[in-house]
Amino acid sequence: MKIALAQINYHIGNFKNNESRVFDTIEKAKTMGADLVVFAELAVSGYPPRDFLEFDDFIAKCHKSIEKIAGWSNGIGVIIGAPSVNPDKKGKDLYNSAWFIADGKVQSVHHKSLLPNYDVFDEYRYFEPGTDFKTIDFKGKKLAITICEDLWNIGDDLLYRGNPMDELFKQQPDIMINIAASPFHYKQADERKNILLQNVAKYQLPLFYVNHVGAQTELLFDGGSLVINAKGEVCSEMAYFKEDLQVFDTDLLTVCNHSKPKPGKMELIHDALVMGIRNYFTKLGLSKAIIGLSGGIDSAVTAVLAERALGKENVYGVMLPSEFSSDHSVSDAVALARNLGIKHDIIPIEEGTKTVNHTLKPQFDGTSFGIAEENIQARMRGLILMALANKFNYILLNTSNKSEAAVGYGTLYGDMNGGLSVLGDVYKTDVFLMARYINKDEEVIPENSIIKPPSAELRPDQKDSDSLPEYDILDKILYSYIEERQGPKEIIAMGFDKKLVDRVLKMVNTNEYKRYQTPPVLRVSSKAFGMGRRMPIVAKYLAEND
Amino acid sequence: MKIALAQINYHIGNFKNNESRVFDTIEKAKTMGADLVVFAELAVSGYPPRDFLEFDDFIAKCHKSIEKIAGWSNGIGVIIGAPSVNPDKKGKDLYNSAWFIADGKVQSVHHKSLLPNYDVFDEYRYFEPGTDFKTIDFKGKKLAITICEDLWNIGDDLLYRGNPMDELFKQQPDIMINIAASPFHYKQADERKNILLQNVAKYQLPLFYVNHVGAQTELLFDGGSLVINAKGEVCSEMAYFKEDLQVFDTDLLTVCNHSKPKPGKMELIHDALVMGIRNYFTKLGLSKAIIGLSGGIDSAVTAVLAERALGKENVYGVMLPSEFSSDHSVSDAVALARNLGIKHDIIPIEEGTKTVNHTLKPQFDGTSFGIAEENIQARMRGLILMALANKFNYILLNTSNKSEAAVGYGTLYGDMNGGLSVLGDVYKTDVFLMARYINKDEEVIPENSIIKPPSAELRPDQKDSDSLPEYDILDKILYSYIEERQGPKEIIAMGFDKKLVDRVLKMVNTNEYKRYQTPPVLRVSSKAFGMGRRMPIVAKYLAEND
């Protein structure tokens, strides 16, 4: 049997688009001689559809898509993900299902049993776990179909009590198929391959695995669909960050030695972010980005990624110097803009901030320069950038990094503005590595932007290190707390100073209110700020030195 | 047996505070002659602790609290909610448990079986469902202990497959006890009582129900703990929006005819919002609020609620007139501030906006007045309010209502600023009713603020009705779509114009990006914007007229 795996960039709720992509792919798969074409989890709706699933109208539209797809299934079998309705009065209203379609109609529907409900996943919010397990007989082969998480309850620490593949295995299948929606983080491709190889080793069956590709706001899907033969040899690892369609003859998978060079962490993050920016714009029907260029490394890296995602003609860099800006702020930013070939302007904020300070003189009289005055500058920049965005249809890209976002080193309604946060899941130390990666062949980002000490330049001679620990120490503490979920005791035991650890954790926890109001963050780590990290605002945990 | 119900305002993660409240209450209950004192669900941590539950350190602190509480249990039984660790390698790491403590030590631990995972609830994210059901023998009575949702799988459309009270009933208990964390919305107290009465009718047992009271950021807990005898008569309905402690003799519940006047919708929402503002400030250790007063009804109602929550000495109203502000804008706002006795200032924004327009002249030259210029005004107001807030330690209260938030009628980083949204879950038509409710005895809000046509005053003679449908129509469509989750077909079938419905639903869906960045919204309805409504941003559902 010839099986086609279709790795497609869907768009949530855009049924017209998703249908036409599926129809085209079915036709292409037929041309390529496929007997069966396999699409990803919840392909018809896009993933994750979130609370759209609570609308009967949305579910009806999913089913209409399935009906139409059935109309294209003459001469080819189709497996595709879509919600299905639970007919039982008990339990949640929906299943997350794989629909097997052939000969112009739906042949069977198979429900996901293990519903991830951690980090960015909310599947138990919508779906009833499947408890019925049946294989598919097709063209003389018995197919065991599972959906994403269904294969993940393997190894030592089991999150679920059941294992759907164990049940299916009892029916002696010939082939395993898994349709997935497995979002990217920079360690995920390895973890995913490892889990799939464990399944093959356990059941000694070939495995066809198909994933989503493309970005849905903050969630990035890297593709990397896999075919593994019964011996545990990788036969194909499909494209990363790109659509792909490949056909495999199940009889010709006896010896495989596919190998692909393993990209480094910075290359992965770079490609993920470029895709994330590009899809945010194309899926919203937008094209042009505006970025405040400070001359520093965060805005420089953001501008490079935006230029690579959208093209130089669609990126506009604006320098907004104040009285506290050093000369190199503007010159470094201009050098970057010239290297990228993007439109740029210099718009000083001094007259704006002076006027605001004048307006507030009756109230501020007798007080000394402080946070309020610093923030007026950051907010004046935000105001001017948004005015340009509104006037000329740009989307402002946010340039904050994860270290700043973590400790609240940024001004709400100022430099924390933007439609999308590009670097909000990249620690400052990794932003430096990203700049080096970008500059690997030629100097795109001016060397001076990389080597000068980071500064917000909101008061004379200010340095980040005046108020924050050095980034190489700060980022290690943050990583332990955020990604590894270590508590203060464990982090101190790693050798960090107790006072420093307490201070950093307190900063993270008391700045939840700021992060609540910031743009969606392109997720590249296993724990990004946003939907995958849910913290109370009004709380008092690790928020005082006690 | 004498049972005390302790309805307490906990603080998430503030173990010191929660412990001392519990210790005091145990002592008070002893003095009142109680044999058993019952605290609410997850009382030791506060509810909802959210991802703090993923930290071993946090769980260890919960268990330390339990140990300390055990030290206070000589001579009295204690039932209290806290997480417990799942010793099994299979399944999630934690249970949501009721701890039964007596004679100085933990006697038994009982796990929640039905884990709500809809709307604002994420319990399946953290907890394994309990599958073991055992009653408690105490002082000659058999107690059936359940936790909140455990009693809610009753009636026609069942969300879960099991029913823990059915299992406990087989052990022939004498009394039902339910510890809960049931957040307020203006219909919830009725629904809750109805569910509890259904349980009493089914099992013919008396029921002791204890709830949280107080606000945890956006989630408001109204208290209203209940005692119902076996005949289904309400014996006590404890205080709403206030702490309470009452003791009941189980032998004296044979005849009950407790009745409490049922407050109206506006009274409920009013009291809930006042509590919500007050707790936000006290739990964050803050005291003073700043509010932009436009002379309109939203900011007037917000100011009144803030004054009632924080006291007149802690509320600062600022009028920020522009060239487009009508005379009555300032005079109505000043009249309100005088009625409330709050500090107020008039700070014109004209010189600020003129300067920004001058700064942008090179870029804006030749373009005509539009959204960009409108938003500059709103953002200048936001900037000035935040500068005052930063300088003098105020928290800015957001004054947007739910109708505006729904259709995106507001300026991000402008009038959508604030630490907390007071009216973000109150439709405009209800804001009018709230103003009338506030003015029921005397004119607090100037009549003119109530009767004048709503306007953003960002261009000459602007009215909300220029760009929005009339609020009485708009709000009905929004309610059907947001609270009732009706699709376009159903709403049109209610008699609304198809074009209008399509336009409104498109406005709601395409403005998700704005709501993503707005402050937490005090939740008073069954479907508020925020954690309880999770929508994709980059999507295309009901987003075009197709």
Q: How far does the CA of residue A222 sit from the closest CA of chain B (Å)?
A: 17
Residues of A in Cβ contact (< 8 Å) with B360: 347, 384, 387-388, 391
Whole-number Å distance between alpha carbons of B78 and B194: 27
User: A545: pLDDT confidence band, cut at 50, 70 and 90?
Assistant: low
Q: What is the pLDDT of residues B120-129, one digit of tens each?
A: 999 999 999 9
Name residues 471-530 of chain B within 8 A of A (Cβ): 485, 487-490, 513, 516-520
Q: What is the pLDDT of residues B180-230, one digit of tens each?
A: 999 999 999 999 999 999 999 999 999 999 999 999 999 999 999 999 999
Residue B546 predicted with pLDDT over 80: no
Question: Across all residues in chain B, what is the average pLDDT?
Answer: 97
Q: What is the pLDDT of residues A327-383, one digit of tens each?
A: 899 999 999 999 999 999 999 999 999 999 999 999 999 999 999 999 999 999 999
**What ranges in B99-147 are assigned the alpha helix state H?**
none
CB contact under 8 Å between B46 and A283, yes or no, is no
User: Which CATH code, of 3.65.10.10, 1.10.10.10, 3.40.50.620, 3.40.50.10140, is assigned to B268-464?
Assistant: 3.40.50.620
Give burial (CB, 10 Å; 0-12/13-18/19+) of A172. exposed
Helices B15-31, B56-70: inter-axial angle, 10-degree rounding: 20
User: A481: pLDDT confidence band, cut at 50, 70 and 90?
Assistant: very high
- Which of A89, A91, A538 is closest, CB to CB, to B283? A538
CB contact under 8 Å between B90 and A158, yes or no, is yes
- Which of B46, B217, B388 is closest, CB to CB, to A537? B217
> CATH top-level class for B2-262?
alpha beta
In the prediction, which pLDDT does B256 show?
93
In the prediction, which pLDDT does B545 show?
53
Q: Which of A2, A62, A112, A256 is catalytic?
A: A112
Which residues, listed in sequence order, are joined to residue B138 by a DSSP beta bridge? B141
Name residues 187-216 of chain A within 8 A of B (Cβ): 215-216
Boundaries of every domain in chain B: 2-262, 268-464
CB contact under 8 Å between A536 and B54, yes or no, is no
- The DSSP call for residue B108 is E
Residues of A in Cβ contact (< 8 Å) with B279: 538
B92 catalytically annotated = no
Q: Which of B19, B128, B148, B514 is catalytic?
A: B148
Q: What is the pLDDT of residues B434-484, one digit of tens each?
A: 999 999 999 999 999 999 999 988 998 888 888 899 999 999 999 999 999
Name residues 387-406 of chain A within 8 A of B (Cβ): 387-388, 390-392
Q: Which of B2, B19, B112, B283 is catalytic?
A: B112
Contact B363, A345 (CB under 8 A): yes
- Which of B58, B60, B487 is closest, CB to CB, to A56? B487
One-letter amino acid at B474 equals: L
Task: Quickly name the fold that domain A2-254 has.
Answer: Nitrilase/N-carbamoyl-D-aminoacid amidohydrolase (3.60.110)
Q: What is the pLDDT of residues A50-102, one digit of tens each?
A: 999 999 999 999 999 999 999 999 999 999 999 999 999 899 999 999 999 99
Q: Which of A62, A148, A235, A256 is catalytic?
A: A148
B252 inside 8 A of chain A by CB: no
- Which of B352, B364, B387 is closest, CB to CB, to A355? B352
Name residues 138-177 of chain A within 8 A of B (Cβ): 156-161
Residue A258 predicted with pLDDT over 90: no
Give burial (CB, 10 Å; 0-12/13-18/19+) of A180. buried
Cβ neighbours around A238 below 10 Å, total: 22
B167 catalytically annotated = no
From A45, A179, A47, A49, select the one nearest A109 (Cα to Cα).
Answer: A179
CB contact under 8 Å between B536 and A348, yes or no, is no
Helices B265-283, B297-310: inter-axial angle, 10-degree rounding: 60
Residues of A in Cβ contact (< 8 Å) with B48: 536
Residues of B in Cβ contact (< 8 Å) with A380: 356, 383
Whole-number Å distance between alpha carbons of A255 and A249: 12
Residue B66 predicted with pLDDT over 70: yes
> ipTM of this model?
0.96
Q: pTM for this one?
A: 0.97
Residues of B in Cβ contact (< 8 Å) with A541: 12-14, 52, 58
In terms of DSSP bridges, do strands B226-228 and B207-210 run parallel, antiparallel, or are they unpaired? antiparallel
B408 inside 8 A of chain A by CB: no
B170 catalytically annotated = no
Instruction: State the first-to-last Cα distance of chain B, in angstroms, to the nearest integer.
Output: 66
SS3 labels along B452-478: CCCCCCCCCCCCHHHHCCCHHHHHHHH
> How many angstroms from the chain centroid is the CA of residue A184?
6
- Which of B380, B382, B391 is closest, CB to CB, to A367? B391
Q: What is the pLDDT of residues B238-278, one digit of tens each?
A: 999 999 999 999 999 989 988 888 899 999 999 999 999 99
Architecture category of domain A267-464 in CATH: 3-Layer(aba) Sandwich (3.40)
Task: Tell me which H or E stretch contains A245.
Answer: strand A244-249
Cβ neighbours around A443 below 10 Å, total: 12
Same fold across B2-262 and B268-464: no
